[in-house]
Structure 1
Amino acid sequence: MSLETDDTLPNGRAARPRGWLRAVIVVPLALAFVAAGIGFVGFLSQLRGVETDPPQTADGIVVLTGGSSRVSDAMELLAAGYGKRLLISGVHPTNAASDISRSLPDRQRLMSCCVDLDRSAVNTRSNAAETRRWARERGFKSLIVVTSNYHMPRAIVELSHAMPDVTLIPFAVIGEKWRDEPWWTSGATFRLLLSEYAKYVAAEVRVRLADIGLDLASDFGEPAAVPRRPATAQAN
């Protein structure tokens, strides 16, 4: 007489361990997918669909290069008196102030008196570092942040982490393509949003881990290097 084990029983019990293994793998993946979907919807809810004037003036204005009409919109804000000076962050090293002036001929006076160029920044994180240096040199405590609507959430995360003592007022630039057609009808726009959402989540995770590190350092009696992020002023 032979003894049968669970591995050889024909009634399906042999599949149970494999079924549990599949559940252990599939269920967390499904939950992560749902969480990512909910997070993406929350990310989209932060994106403005129309441009609105800042609710208040600020000490300075910073525009992060990389999208159409960002610089021209920032110059319009400067001309309207929303800030004392403008920092154009992320200017290509080969571009001179005269190159920008030629593209904005009616703003040449402002370019010569009230605009600073940052050629060091190569990404949003270094945009934030250079903006912090500029704001501290000028003694600015409030800034209007100009960038594309899809880039604004990540920009605010990076800037507020770098400058927790500075009030940030977002001015989201709406591109023509965004205005002309809904984002869900364009594969290119949808891919752009997914990419930006992934970068935004990565920035949030990194900043939160940095905050946890500050908490641990404080618990062990070490001085905190950077204070907490403040609330960001929101445009109406």
Structure 2
Amino acid sequence: MGDARGSNAARGGASARWRRIWFRRQRGRLRQSIRGLFYALLIAAAAAATGFLVFADHVASMQPPIDPKADAIVVLTGGFQRIDQAVNLLKSGAGQRLLISGVHPSTTGAQIRRNTQSSTDLFKCCVDIGYDALDTIGNANETARWIHGNGYQTVLVVTNNYHMPRSLMELRRASPETAFVAYPVVNSDLKTGNWLTDPVVLRVMTMEYAKTAAAWLRQALGAATGTGLRTSNEPRPRLADPTDPATE
């Protein structure tokens, strides 16, 4: 009887020791996993910060070409300053025709013409207004339809400097055979100004960097995306006639 109790006690002691060893190993593995996760997050944060600084430096270095020339011009809506620049480029002969992409359906051609102080003849002959694009992907697809419908080979792209990298990425995806020439609109001097202390500019830059990184990742993975268009069956954007009283 005494031998049996001793044997059971020995087995119990050995079992307890193995449990302690097992728990120590599990704690060690958990610590290693937490440490690995911490280092992975640290590396990811460092990569994101580095990418943001590279993106910001690239955007800050953007300047419009001195003597821009292309078959046509496209401006991606987001403020009348962009449209003013694009219309002035059209007037100066930088392109034969202008597409204003992503215009809200409630905005008429006459309103745009008046805001840009342009002539009726200019808008009637040389300006197309696209109402279908909902976002940058939609801008690219709407522009691609317009390019293919007119047979353009080189297109001047007008948008804000911070928006230009993602815009060119989406445009080249939608129409890879077209040569796109960047004409960035510079709202604030990112090169010399201390924009990191400006919360508005910093927020815009951070959000645009995140969107650009997401677009790059989506294209790298070949992920499917929507058209970004209100409709997809129109062969080209419709032209708003600024002489039509119904558009007033």
Q: What interval of TM-score do these two structures reach, taking the shorter chain for normalisation?
A: 0.7 to 0.9
Instruction: Specify the code of the residue in structure 1 equivalent to 2:170.
Output: E
C-alpha distance in structure 2 between counterparts of 1:6 and 1:190, whole Å:
56
* CA spacing shift, 1:5–1:71, aligned 2, 3 Å: farther
Q: C-alpha displacement at 1:54, in angstroms?
A: 5.0
Aligned partner (choices 209, 214, 231) of residue 202 of structure 1:
214
* CA spacing shift, 1:68–1:115, aligned 2, 3 Å: closer
Q: C-alpha displacement at 1:207, in angstroms?
A: 1.6
Aligned to 1:175: 187
C-alpha distance in structure 1 between counterparts of 2:117 and 2:191, whole Å:
26
Identity of aligned residues (%): 35
Q: Do the aligned residues in 2 keep the contact of 1:67 with 1:148 (CA within 8 Å)?
A: no
* CA spacing shift, 1:144–1:48, aligned 2, 3 Å: farther
C-alpha distance in structure 2 between counterparts of 1:161 and 1:50, whole Å:
21
C-alpha distance in structure 2 between counterparts of 1:5 and 1:75, whole Å:
82
Aligned to 2:116: 104
C-alpha distance in structure 2 between counterparts of 1:125 and 1:14, whole Å:
48
Aligned to 1:16: 28
Q: C-alpha displacement at 1:55, in angstroms?
A: 4.9
Aligned to 1:217: none
* CA spacing shift, 1:18–1:210, aligned 2, 3 Å: closer
Aligned to 1:226: none
Instruction: Give CA-to-partner distance per residue, 1:88-143, whole Å, 9 cap, x none.
Output: 00111011110001111244432222110000001000100010000111110110
Structure 1 residue ranges without an equivalent (≥5): 212-236
* CA spacing shift, 1:76–1:179, aligned 2, 3 Å: farther
Does residue 164 of structure 2 align to residue 134 of structure 1? no
Aligned to 2:127: 115
Q: Secondary structure at the match of 1:99?
A: helix
Aligned to 2:241: none
Q: Judge which range, 97-106 or 130-139, deviates more.
A: 97-106
Aligned to 1:70: 82
Q: C-alpha displacement at 1:191, in angstroms?
A: 1.4
1:33-44 residue pairs with structure 2 within 5 A? Answer: 33-44=45-56
Q: Do the aligned residues in 1 keep the contact of 2:113 with 2:120 (CA within 8 Å)?
A: yes
C-alpha distance in structure 1 between counterparts of 2:89 and 2:185, whole Å:
12
Q: Do the aligned residues in 1 keep the contact of 2:60 with 2:189 (CA within 8 Å)?
A: no
* CA spacing shift, 1:136–1:23, aligned 2, 3 Å: same
**Higher-RCO chain (CA-CA 8 Å, sequence separation at least 6):** 2
C-alpha distance in structure 2 between counterparts of 1:148 and 1:63, whole Å:
10
C-alpha distance in structure 1 between counterparts of 2:167 and 2:215, whole Å:
9
Aligned partner (choices 109, 112, 136) of residue 124 of structure 1:
136
Q: Secondary structure at the match of 1:46?
A: helix
Instruction: Give CA-to-partner distance per residue, 1:41-61, whole Å, 9 cap, x none.
Output: 121122145643355411000
Does residue 174 of structure 2 align to residue 162 of structure 1? yes
Q: C-alpha displacement at 1:34, in angstroms?
A: 1.1
Asked which structure has the greater CA Rg, the reply is 2
Q: C-alpha displacement at 1:24, in angstroms?
A: 2.3
Instruction: Specify the code of the residue in structure 1 equivalent to 2:220.
Output: R
C-alpha distance in structure 1 between counterparts of 2:117 and 2:141, whole Å:
30
Structure 2 residue ranges without an equivalent (≥5): 1-9, 224-248
Higher helix content, 1 or 2: 2
Aligned to 2:3: none
Q: Do the aligned residues in 2 keep the contact of 1:67 with 1:147 (CA within 8 Å)?
A: no
Q: Secondary structure at the match of 2:132?
A: coil
Q: Do the aligned residues in 2 keep the contact of 1:7 with 1:14 (CA within 8 Å)?
A: no
Instruction: Specify the code of the residue in structure 2 equivalent to 1:126.
Output: G
Does residue 104 of structure 2 align to residue 92 of structure 1? yes
